[in-house]
Amino acid sequence: MNKHKIIIGITGASGQIYAKTLLDMLDMHHSQFDEIATVFTNTGKQVFDYETGENINQYKHINIYENDDLFAPFASGSSNYDTLIVVPCSMGMLARIANGYAGDLISRTADVMLKERRKLIVVTREMPFNLIHIRNMEQITLAGGIICPASPSFYSKPQSVDDVVKTVVERILRMSDINIEGYRWNGK
């Protein structure tokens, strides 16, 4: 079985609970991966700390890269990373990705994923959308990326905020071809 090499890009948008839950689940299932890498924007670090109160260095199986490190292995198309998940994705980062402005590690890695026809999942959290946001989402979709708004489902009858968040994170992981247990709609 081939293991995944995955990158998580975390921007300064509100909704850091999605990033934290995703990192928790990836760390817990680390045996499925050759590498789990994380990149925070400067604001992403600040908002992660503010909204979660968690230390970004707590994860034993996740490598953290600086957003200005354009020498990180996944900044190159010759690397063999499978997936980039940007969660939560600010509208500023969405615009940079949509328009090919690869001035930092997250936007450069997104550019690599698109040009190499690898998986890019952009988890938008802000709302409402204006026309510029919608056109940027369209541009990323046309380029091969996946727009995955952090819109929870309620089929599983979640009982807590954590349960609601997991409906989004489990969906992101399934889109990434990562096997985890979780609720799946069976139509009954």
The domain ranges of the chain are 4-175
Domain 4-175 in CATH: superfamily?
Answer: Flavin prenyltransferase-like (3.40.50.1950)
| Rounded Cα gap, residues 39 and 144, in angstroms | 22
pLDDT at 186 over 80: no
Query: Of 3, 1, 2, 6, which Cα lies nearest the Cα of 172?
Result: 6
Contacts 24+ apart (CB under 8 A), 53-56: 54/20
pLDDT tens sequence across 25-54: 999 888 889 999 999 999 999 999 999 998
pLDDT tens sequence across 132-152: 999 999 999 999 999 999 999
